[in-house]
Amino acid sequence: MITAGLVEALAGIVGARHVRTAPAERVTYARDGLPTHRRVPAVVVLPGSREEVIAVVRLLAAHGVPVVPRGAGTGLSGGALADGSAVLLVLTRLNRILGVDPKNRIALVEPGVVNARLSVAAAPHGLYYAPDPSSQTACTLGGNVAENAGGPHCLKYGVTAQHVLALEVVLGDGRVVELGSPGGEPWGPDLVGLFVGSEGNFGIATRIAVRLLPLPRAVRTLLADFTSLRTAGEAVSAVIASGIVPAALEMMDQSCVRAVEDSVYAAGYPRDAAAVLLVELDGGSEAAVTADAETIQSVLREHGARSTRTAADARERERLWQGRKKAFGAMGRLSRDLVVQDAVVPRSTLPDVLETIARIAATYQLTVSNVFHAGDGNLHPNISFDGRVPGLKARVDAASTEIMEACIAVGGTITGEHGVGLDKLRYMPLIFDAESLTAMRAVRRVWDPEERVNPGKVVPVHACREWSGIGTRNAERGTRNPIAPSSSTFPIPTSALAP
């Protein structure tokens, strides 16, 4: 129970200025980057150090009050929302880069450090942090760890999980554990791997050691445009089949291109194209990258590109990328409200799936724009609508579900990088049977036996075990990603994480 005494004690730890109880202040934390979900937290606390985080979590544990960590609130699944029974722990003030070690190419950061700022800090050493979610100028590394964030360049370099070496985590009862080692030599089970992507369900990351990579010596960015969505989808598979691994391979459809071109991030994408592909190649030498770029350019033309062009300089490259990265925000221009889906399909099915999505959009008379990580088959259909129109939201939900079902039907899954959070709870039973869901919950309970950290997210509790409908059918079809039930004595080492 959250009492006045508890609020006072919280203020005693972080200072009264950093405890928010006024309704107006709490309302500003009621949403994340997917504004269709709204929950007003009971109290908002903004700690200024890891010590304060630990003290706050211990205090809340003693009172049996749930806690929800939050970074920048750019998540797209409602993961960082807390309801009136919980305290929202905002980590934006923990924003120090504790150290960059250029020799070993490691950085140690607090969780509130904004993704793009780490690369800026590493640049003088010729290094950068590779995972680049489109939200990188806003989102935090803590949020990236929790969501196992991906980004355009993760096609070649891997998602967040491939770049986190070690973590310091505060568990729900306030105990502090250290996972992994900054040296990157794993021993025992890969607990860092388990924690990354746990959506704030396993604990709160308070320190993160990440790998930095040397900035590529040579880069080419190509823009190709197509007169049909299907050809563009087929060209994606052709590029991958060429054997060259692009650093990034992104696709935008016409509606998305037009929104970007109307915005301050206009990049010069052709407005009349049905779709554009952005392909980046990088490597250690100009000659090799130029040769790759030429090969890819001819592959694209052979597969129906109307025209292709190469960014002339770093400035144009930046412009082409900014357009892509701000596309989600730009689609805000189309209508008052926007929901974005996140699904992964086998790359070869892209042309069919895109057509199916267009058909669903037409059936429900909705504007659906596509911008996505084509190389990974990670789709992001965006539905624009005006939530004030009666009945429209229900139509949007129905179309979303139908799109998701279509993706699952071709062997896809319900999230590529945005996580399950609140928004995708409803889809979990579509791909996991009751037993798998129970197993997931059991794993979670090893870390957080009371389910006190970010409760009610990721695993639809009602669907565990007692829930059998679709789950059984899936089990017969062969469920994807079954997770074996774990024992409840999961070893968590407390080895030292040297700063």
Partner 1 sequence: MSDRGGFEALDACVHCGFCLQACPTFLATGDEADSPRGRIELMRALESGELAPDDPAVVVHLDRCLGCRGCEPVCPSGVGYGRGIEAARALLATKRRPAPLARAALWALTTPGPSRIAYRLARMLRATGLPGAVAGWGRLRFAMGMLAATRPVRNAEWGVRSPRVTADSARRTPHSALTTVLLFRGCVMDGLFSHVHDATMRTLEVNGYAVREVPGQVCCGALHAHAGLREEARRLARANVAAFGDGDGDEPVVVNSAGCGAMLKEYGHLVDEARFAARVRDVTELLAARGPRPGAPVDVQVAYDPPCHLLHAQRIADEPYRVLAAIPVLRVVSLPDAAQCCGSAGLFTLLEPAMSRAVLAPKLASLRTASPQVVATGNPGCLMQLGAGLAASGLRAAARHPVELLDESYRAAGYYA
Ligand X SMILES: Cc1cc2nc3c(=O)[nH]c(=O)nc-3n(C[C@H](O)[C@H](O)[C@H](O)COP(=O)(O)OP(=O)(O)OC[C@H]3O[C@@H](n4cnc5c(N)ncnc54)[C@H](O)[C@@H]3O)c2cc1C
Would you say 32 or 280 has its CB closer to ligand X? 32
Are 356 and 229 a contacting pair, CB within 8 Å? no
Q: Which residues bind ligand SF4 (CB under 6 A)?
A: 329, 332
- Member of 52, 110, 250, 337 binding partner 1 (CB under 8 A): 337
Interface residue with partner 1, options 14, 139, 371, 497 (CB under 8 A): 139
Q: CA–CA separation, 430 vs 471, rounded Å? A: 7
Q: Binding mask 63-82 vs partner 1 (x if CB under 8 A, - otherwise)? A: ---------xxx--------
Is 137 near partner 1 (CB under 8 A)? yes
Structure tokens at 289: 């990258």
Q: How far is the CB of 54 from ligand X (least distance, A)?
A: 13
Chain residues 409-428 in contact with ligand X, contact rule CB under 6 A: 417-418, 421
Contacts with ligand X, 189-228, as mask; x by CB under 6 A? ----------xx---xx-----------------------
* Per-residue three-class SS string for 169-188: EECCCCCEEEEECCCCCCCC
381 lines the binding site for ligand X (CB under 6 A) = no
Q: How far is the CB of 336 from partner 1 (least distance, A)?
A: 5
* Binding of residue 44 to ligand X (CB under 6 A): no
| Distinct helix (H) and strand (E) counts, the chain | 17, 20
Q: Are 169 and 203 in contact (CB under 8 A)?
A: yes
Give the per-residue contact string, 446-485, with ligand X (x = CB under 6 A; - = no): --------x-------------------------------
CA distances from 369 to 81, 145, 345, 406 (A): 26, 28, 17, 17
338 binding partner (options ligand X, ligand SF4, partner 1, none; Cβ < 5 to 8 Å by kind): partner 1
Long-range contacts of 24-29 (CB under 8 A, 24+ apart): 29/70, 29/73, 29/82, 29/88, 29/90
Which has the closest alpha carbon to 66: 39, 99, 98, 92?
39
Spell out, one character per residue from 315 to 354, where the chain touches ligand X: x when CB under 6 A holds, - when not: -------------xx-------------------------
The entry of partner 1, ligand X, ligand SF4, none near residue 336 (CB within 5 to 8 angstroms by kind) is partner 1
Contacts of 6 (CB under 8 A, 6+ apart): 59, 60, 63, 65
Q: How far apart are CA 109 and CA 96, in angstroms?
A: 6
CB of 225 closer than 8 Å to CB of 273: yes
What is the identity of the amino acid at 208?
I
Our finding on whether 263 is near ligand X (CB under 6 A) is no
Residue of minimal CB distance from ligand X? 143
**149 or 408, CB closer to ligand X?**
149
For 7, which DSSP code?
H
Q: Is 364 in the site for partner 1 (CB under 8 A)?
A: no
Report angle CA 87, 8, 202 to the nearest 5 degrees.
25
Amino acid at residue number 223: L
Q: Residues interacting with ligand X, by CB under 6 A? A: 32-33, 68-76, 79-80, 91, 111, 133-135, 139-140, 142-144, 146-147, 149-151, 199-200, 204-205, 328-329, 417-418, 421, 454
Q: Which spans of this chain sit near partner 1 (rule: CB under 8 A)?
A: 20, 22-25, 27-35, 46, 72-74, 90, 92-93, 95, 112, 114, 116, 135, 137-139, 260, 262-265, 326-333, 336-338
